[in-house]
A and B are shown apart, each in its own frame.
Chain A
Amino acid sequence: MGKPLWVFMERVTPSGRGVVSDWYEKDIEAEAQDEFDDILRNLAVTPRDLWVRPAYDTMTPEFGEIRFFANKLQHRVFGFFLRETSQYVMLVGATKKGKNYTPRDALTRVPWYKTTVLTDRKLIRPYAKHII
């Protein structure tokens, strides 16, 4: 089997918990988990220029969001590319209703999360829940 183009990483809290893994396990329903798994499997083999809507949106030059709809809710996972290592780092997952996110500060804290993990690369680890 061939290698994917992108390896997914997730932010880890100082206490060692995977932020996206926790969100996946505790905060979203099985339907959303399955949709997220499938979107990640497809993005993993998709060249960067084809990461476009509806599955992905570049929000600023610094970060973007993985997007999917499941269980009557919009879901967003904010993150950024580490091109030198062919990684996509997921910083935080959220659900969205209108303009409101749950957790509420998910979007506003993205730049800070990014700075944190770039300062200390131990705060990211591989994410593999989508892998069969």
Chain B
Amino acid sequence: MNTCATLKRATWLVLLATVMLFVLNVAHALWSVPEHLISKLEQLSAEQAEFINSGAVLEFIPQRQIEHELATRDADSLKTLLDELLSLAAEMRYDPDRDMGAIPLNLASKRFNQGTLPTPEPLRKLQRQPGPFSVHRYLVPKSGVPTFGGANVAIWPEDLVAGKVDVAIIGVPNDMGSGRRDAGEGPAAMRGLNTIAAADMQSLVVPLEVLHVVDYGNIRVDILSSERTATHVAAMVAETAATGAIPMLVGGDTSMLYPGVKGLAETHGSGNFGLLHFSAHPDVDRDGDHLLSDKQALFLLLQEGLVNGDETIQVGLRGPAVTAATLEWLRSQKVRYHTMAKIQQEGFDATLKKVLAEVNRGPERYFVSIDVSVIEPAEMVAAGRIAPHGLRIQEAARAIRQVCAGKEVVGFEITDMAPRLDFTRLSVVNANALLNACLVGIAVRRAGLKPDYIHPLVRGHGQR
């Protein structure tokens, strides 16, 4: 992140904080000290009384509790409580004399950028013609080095160009999720239990026959900083997309949604594609102490204008961050959200219909993102930020396939599958199923078929 962007963001955040404070004040203003407790405030200092009257105290103690404390505590005890809370409030904000305002790095390091430095051409060990290549000895390989979909491997942008690659599947093993970790192992696990790119049962399209798909390796991450990782990931995604290939990103935690979309925005232009985001979590934390995390990914995209709010569709919301304030904020951004509560009420088919209508009304191009937390834990126990009562795998896959077949997909990302949390490996199979849904969708579209096309042979046995 360069200084300019940081400054820009800081300014924005100040603005936002001001608005938030205003909103908070409005909310607090709705509460006032009940009539029979007002006399209690007389025992307090002006500052203490104001702390309660302004509603600022509600940030620490719920309304019901502060009323109970006012009613039951004696003056001394009440003063002690408020003094402690006031000193807490005073320490809440950043103080440059006390707090670390930025995480220092070792500027003397000779390896400062080593992790993210691709090998320059003259230092590569082997000379070869550009283009994707097989990692197998046999014409019909049964095993060997695992790749996404068993696809050929490409390493450099020249390989993608030379092979006219349509889809580059790329691992982004960032592992800084705010839930349970291990998403960093996601790409390896999904390669190691390959269930994708086979003939599609509905259309009988074989993705690898229609599309040139490659395993484009992993993008290097800085395991101790999502911020440093994001800079590199965005650049690599932009470079990949510039070759004409569609990047399908395999996370990694959901903070990587930010550089994934940012990289594509560099190629296709900010606000030039919509975002369909399947997730239990809204990921719009507006007041993080860090500048990038999974909890902030969508907020950052909207804030920086990389995607437009009214072209952003969220499906499956239900996590602990879904509060009234968050939903109000999403509304204020014109985000089209579809909560799990609504899906349970009206049935998934009805919601899917609405979502597809919104997608169709929206821009021609979409980025499709899946945080696996959207899936019901019974089928995705390895979700890093697991949340009960989610979508079935068939439901999510159907939706993804329809969108990827109906719209031009500029990029795809699946995030936060932490394989070691599922000793049965079912989560890996299902994560691959979600990725495959989009891959098949892209193939169906490329084959010139309608999104919901069903091959006549599949419809029935045809016997009387």
Please indicate whether A and B come from the same complex rather than being unrelated chains. no
B residues with a Cβ closer than 8 A to A are none
A residues with a Cβ closer than 8 A to B are none
